[in-house]
């Protein structure tokens, strides 16, 4: 849980020193957007590796979801230490550190291809630890590069490029990893080249970020009206409910992506081979990318809460259609959920941080810890899939979207006064 002790709190919200000009903010936004793209690409490769490792090591669905448990579990374990690190060394050096840790995690995939499933899980955890450092810094940074009313819009723009990475990742992984893979243990070797290449790209990004000139940022001591009289971010109900929303949203989104290849391989759905199904996973993530570009425009005028509620309602209907339908109807219904997912994370994140004042940094750390939903919800769906089948197990993501619908409706007028 979050602590208010000085040595354990995440970094406070970034602010451009002296009120950075729009041009400087735009340049900073472009640079940070590169980070969103890279961690989107890396995260979506999990959807390719899960069925690949499941086949290689003859795993149950429950065992295969240990990949997401280790990957997203890092968010829960590392978020608060990452915040303390960023407070000590600053946002720019923190980003460089995160990139180097992630690069080290990618390098670990090489020995893991010789050492077995346990080493793969360790590599996933180290890789995700580096990405967590980036997440803790980048999301609140983006919210502060402009007025609060358009924070959701800016996060939607940067998350759109995150989705560009998640769109490219599955097809790239399908081509480089699945298309040449068999079921023999030796086929684990197909991960070596792609992940060593990723390690090189991350190390290069670390160098670029080290020499880049970003706006000066400082800890905020301002307290908004909503923050007065409260001694912790935990005292803000909308932050707590937003953390639950992030937990369930990330859990639902990751769980659907994790099971897509196996779902599309079901005879009553599409009967696709893994390599072919991987291309359809790109459609799922691509829908989120398209929706976020649309959301960037729409949410400059529309209520974030109402937009969130509408998307959640549509997601529930589509997941239920996939759960109880067959053939192309079920297939395209589950793929279309990606479009509904589009604005959810940045919208919940910015709404949850609204009005926290000097507790925004602590709130960001809490929300990043809540990303552990991406570890636990797929794990739970894996147990369901083993018990009642892959298709029926999708009832769990539908239940997750129901809470997000509640959150959107409850805070639909949050920005009405601004």
Taking only Cα atoms into account, the Rg of the chain, rounded to an integer number of angstroms, comes to 20
First to last CA, the chain: 32
Report yes or no on 60 lying in a domain.
Answer: yes
* Pair 130, 105: CB distance under 8 Å: yes
d(CA 299, CA 1): 32
pLDDT higher at 331 or 210: 331
- What percentage of the chain carries pLDDT values higher than 70? 83
**Count of structural domains within the chain:** 1
User: Among 200, 191, 79, which Cα is nearest to 129's?
Assistant: 79
In whole angstroms, what separates CA 231 from the centre of its chain? 29
Report yes or no on 38 lying in a domain.
Answer: yes
* Pair 287, 333: CB distance under 8 Å: no
d(CA 365, CA 69): 19
pLDDT higher at 55 or 333: 333
Average pLDDT over residues 271-298: 86
Provide the domain limits for residue 182.
22-211+222-410
Average pLDDT over residues 191-216: 85
**Structure pTM?**
0.76
Report yes or no on 418 lying in a domain.
Answer: no
d(CA 278, CA 300): 34
* Pair 53, 189: CB distance under 8 Å: no
Report yes or no on 15 lying in a domain.
Answer: no
Report yes or no on 178 lying in a domain.
Answer: yes
- Beta bridge partners, 16, equal 217
pLDDT digits (tens, 9 = 90+) for 211-226: 877 665 554 443 333 3
d(CA 335, CA 257): 9
Report yes or no on 8 lying in a domain.
Answer: no
Predicted confidence at residue 417, as pLDDT, reads 47
Model confidence band, residue 298 (pLDDT cutoffs 50, 70, 90) = confident
CATH number where 323 lies = 1.20.1250.20
pLDDT digits (tens, 9 = 90+) for 37-94: 888 899 889 988 998 899 888 899 999 999 999 999 998 899 888 878 877 887 778 8
Report yes or no on 415 lying in a domain.
Answer: no
Report yes or no on 217 lying in a domain.
Answer: no
């Amino acid at each position: 849980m979050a602590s208010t002790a000085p040595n354990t709190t995440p970094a406070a919200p970034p602010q451009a020193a002296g009120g950075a000009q729009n041009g400087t903010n735009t340049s900073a936004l472009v640079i940070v957007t590169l980070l969103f793209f890279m961690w989107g690409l890396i995260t979506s490769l999990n959807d390719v590796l899960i069925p690949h490792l499941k086949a290689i090591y003859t795993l149950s669905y429950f065992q295969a979801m240990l990949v997401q448990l280790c990957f997203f579990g890092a968010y829960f374990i590392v978020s608060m230490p990452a915040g303390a690190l960023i407070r000590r060394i600053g946002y720019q050096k923190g980003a460089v550190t995160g990139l180097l840790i992630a690069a080290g995690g990618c390098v670990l995939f090489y020995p893991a291809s010789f050492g077995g499933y346990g080493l793969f899980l360790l590599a996933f955890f180290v890789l995700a630890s580096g990405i967590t450092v980036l997440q803790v810094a980048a999301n609140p940074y983006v919210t502060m590069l402009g007025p609060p009313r358009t924070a959701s819009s800016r996060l939607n723009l940067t998350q759109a490029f995150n989705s560009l990475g998640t769109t490219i990742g599955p097809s790239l992984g399908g081509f480089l990893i699945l298309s040449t893979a068999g079921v023999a243990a030796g086929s684990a070797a197909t991960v070596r080249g792609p992940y060593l290449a990723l390690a090189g790209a991350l190390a290069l990004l670390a160098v670029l970020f080290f020499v880049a000139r970003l706006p000066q940022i400082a800890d905020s001591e301002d307290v908004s009206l909503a923050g007065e009289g409260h001694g912790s971010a935990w005292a803000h109900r909308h932050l707590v409910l937003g953390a639950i929303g992030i937990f369930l949203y990330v859990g639902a989104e990751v769980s659907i992506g994790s099971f897509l290849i196996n779902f599309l391989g079901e005879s009553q759905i599409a009967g696709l081979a893994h390599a072919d199904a991987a291309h359809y996973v790109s459609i799922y993530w691509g829908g989120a990318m398209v929706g976020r570009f649309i959301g960037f425009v729409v949410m400059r005028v529309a209520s974030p809460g109402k937009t969130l509620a509408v998307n959640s309602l549509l997601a529930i209907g589509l997941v239920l259609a996939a759960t109880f339908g067959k053939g192309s109807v079920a297939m395209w219904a589950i793929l279309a959920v990606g479009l509904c997912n589009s604005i959810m994370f940045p919208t919940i994140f910015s709404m949850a941080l609204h009005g926290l004042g000097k507790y925004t940094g602590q709130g960001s750390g809490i929300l990043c810890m809540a990303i552990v939903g991406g570890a636990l919800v797929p794990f739970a769906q894996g147990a369901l899939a083993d018990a009642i089948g892959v298709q029926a197990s999708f009832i769990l993501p539908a239940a997750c979207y129901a809470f997000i619908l509640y959150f959107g409706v409850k805070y639909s007028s949050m920005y009405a006064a601004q």
